[in-house]
C-alpha cells in the first residue's frame, strides 16, 4: 500500500465539478487580477473568522511582510517569536531589517511559551508573533496580556490554523493582525501560492490593501506609499471558494482522523496534546518518537510517507547566525526537533490507510 502524505488528487476528484466551474468562470470573465472573486472570498472568510477586514495576498509569507510593514516595523526593532517553526515567520521580520528574538516553546503544544516572553522584552521590542503550530492556536490571552503591559503589537501567524478555535473564538481573530496561508497542503489550500491578512483595525487594513498593490491609493496610478506586488490572483480565489464550501466538514474529518490515530497510538509514541480550550485543524498530525529516523525509514519501506516539521530550530540556521544564538539556548525546541515526526493527515484519509500506518508503527516498536 502506498499512501499519499496529503492527497490533493483525491480532494480534487471529490470537488471537481465545483472547482472546474469556478475556473471556467474566471477564464470567461478574463478578470485574472483582483477580480470580483477576490472580494467575495475576502468577505466570506472575514465573516467566517469574525473579523471586520480581510485582504487576500500572494502567499502566507507576504501576508506577514504586509502586516509588519503596515505596523511600521523599522530597522533595529525587535520582534519576539518562536524558534520552532517554518522560517517564513522570522524571515519576514529580518526581511524588513528588524531583529527576530527567539524564546523557547511549550513542550506539550509546541507553541511559543508565554511564560518565557517577558524576559526577552527590551526597550527595542515592538511586538510578538505567535505561530499556531500544526493547527492548534497559541495561548493568546496570556500573550495579549503581556503585549498590553508593554505596549506591543501581536501578530497571529495562522498559516497552519485557519479554521481552528481558541476558547470558542476563531483563529485569525485573536491578535492585532492575523496572517494565514493557502499553500496547497494547508487545511484550506489553493492550487499555488496564496494568503490572507485579517484585522479589525480599519487603518491597518487600508495600508495593507495599498501595500499589496504597489502602494496604490484610490486611483490606479495614484501611489500614496511605496508598496510591492503581493496580490492574490482570481483563479486561486475561485478555487478557494469552491473548497471553502466543504471546509467545515473537512475540519470534522481531520479531527476524526486525529482521534483515531491517538486512540491506537497512545502509549506507543507520544501523541499530540490538544488543550481542552482548543479546537485544532490538524494541519499536521505530529508525534514524538524514539529512534525517529529509524522509524521513518521503516515506514518508508511500508509505503508510508512522513515528514519532519522541523529538523533544525531557527536559532541554529545559517541564515540567522548573525543573531549570535548557539545550540542549547532553547532546549525544548531542540529536543523536539530530534523526535518530531508528522504522519499522513488530510480530510480524505481512510480508516484502512490509518490502520496500515498504525500497524506499521506498532510493529517497529515490537521488534
In whole angstroms, what is the distance from residue 255 CA to residue 289 CA? Answer: 21
Apex CA 193: angle with CA 190 and CA 194, to 5°? 75
Burial of 17 (0-12, 13-18, 19+ CB in 10 A): exposed
Pairing of strands 195-199, 177-181: antiparallel
> Would you place residue 219 in the very low, low, confident or very high pLDDT band (cuts 50, 70, 90)?
confident
In whole angstroms, what is the distance from residue 124 CA to residue 103 CA? Answer: 16
Query: What pLDDT digit, counting tens, does each position of 51-78 carry?
Result: 999 999 999 999 999 999 999 999 999 9
Taking the CA atoms of residue 94, residue 189, residue 185 and residue 164 in that order, the dihedral angle to the nearest 10 degrees is 80
Q: Which CATH entry fits the domain spanning 247-366: 3.40.50.720, 3.30.870.10, 1.10.1040.50, 3.90.1150.10?
A: 3.90.1150.10
Check pLDDT > 90 for residue 220.
no
Taking residues 310-337, report their average pLDDT: 98
Query: What pLDDT digit, counting tens, does each position of 121-139 carry?
Result: 999 999 999 999 999 999 9
> Would you place residue 218 in the very low, low, confident or very high pLDDT band (cuts 50, 70, 90)?
confident
Which sequence spans correspond to the domains of the chain? Answer: 8-103+110-244, 247-366
May I ask the CATH class of domain 8-103+110-244? alpha beta
Query: What pLDDT digit, counting tens, does each position of 95-124 carry?
Result: 999 999 999 999 999 999 999 999 999 999
Query: What pLDDT digit, counting tens, does each position of 343-364 carry?
Result: 999 999 999 999 999 999 999 9
Mean pLDDT of the chain: 97
Per cent of the chain over pLDDT 70 is: 100
0.95 exceeded by the pTM?
A: yes
In whole angstroms, what is the distance from residue 181 CA to residue 187 CA? Answer: 9
Query: Can you give the pLDDT at residue 13?
Result: 98
Query: Can you give the pLDDT at residue 329?
Result: 98
Same fold, 8-103+110-244 and 247-366: no
Amino acid at each position: 500500500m502506498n499512501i499519499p502524505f496529503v492527497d490533493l488528487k483525491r480532494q480534487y476528484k471529490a470537488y471537481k465539478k465545483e472547482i472546474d466551474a469556478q475556473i471556467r468562470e474566471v477564464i470567461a470573465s478574463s478578470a485574472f487580477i483582483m477580480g470580483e472573486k477576490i472580494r467575495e472570498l475576502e468577505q466570506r472568510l472575514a465573516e467566517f473568522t469574525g473579523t471586520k477586514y480581510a485582504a487576500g495576498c500572494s502567499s502566507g509569507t507576504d501576508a506577514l511582510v504586509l502586516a509588519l510593514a503596515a505596523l511600521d516595523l523599522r530597522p533595529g526593532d525587535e520582534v519576539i517569536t518562536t524558534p520552532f517553526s517554518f522560517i517564513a515567520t522570522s524571515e519576514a521580520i529580518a526581511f524588513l531589517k528588524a531583529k527576530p528574538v527567539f524564546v523557547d516553546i511549550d513542550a506539550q503544544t509546541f507553541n511559543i511559551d508565554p511564560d518565557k516572553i517577558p524576559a526577552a522584552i527590551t526597550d527595542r521590542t515592538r511586538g510578538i508573533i505567535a505561530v499556531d503550530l500544526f493547527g492548534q492556536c497559541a495561548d493568546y490571552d496570556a500573550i495579549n496580556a503581556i503585549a498590553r503591559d508593554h505596549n506591543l503589537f501581536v501578530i497571529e501567524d495562522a498559516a497552519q490554523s485557519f479554521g481552528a478555535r481558541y476558547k470558542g473564538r476563531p483563529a485569525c481573530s485573536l491578535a492585532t493582525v492575523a496572517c494565514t496561508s493557502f499553500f496547497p497542503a494547508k487545511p484550506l489550500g489553493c492550487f499555488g501560492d496564496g494568503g490572507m491578512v485579517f484585522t479589525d483595525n480599519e487603518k491597518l487594513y487600508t495600508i495593507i490593501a495599498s501595500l499589496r498593490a504597489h502602494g496604490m491609493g484610490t486611483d490606479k496610478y495614484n501611489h500614496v506609499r511605496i508598496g510591492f506586488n503581493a496580490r492574490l490572483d482570481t483563479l486561486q480565489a475561485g478555487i478557494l471558494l469552491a473548497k471553502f464550501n466543504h471546509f467545515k466538514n473537512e475540519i470534522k474529518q481531520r479531527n476524526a482522523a486525529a482521534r483515531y490515530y491517538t486512540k491506537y497510538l497512545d502509549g506507543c509514541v507520544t501523541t499530540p496534546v490538544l488543550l481542552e480550550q482548543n479546537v485544532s485543524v490538524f494541519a499536521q498530525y505530529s508525534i514524538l518518537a524514539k529512534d525517529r529516523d529509524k522509524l521513518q525509514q521503516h515506514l518508508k519501506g511500508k509505503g508510508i510517507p512522513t515528514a519532519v516539521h522541523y529538523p533544525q530550530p531557527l536559532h541554529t540556521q545559517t541564515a540567522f547566525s548573525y543573531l549570535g544564538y548557539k545550540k542549547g539556548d532553547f532546549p525544548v525546541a531542540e529536543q523536539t526537533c530530534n523526535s518530531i515526526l508528522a504522519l499522513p493527515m488530510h480530510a480524505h484519509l481512510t480508516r484502512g490507510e490509518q490502520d496500515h500506518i498504525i500497524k506499521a508503527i506498532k510493529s517497529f516498536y515490537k521488534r
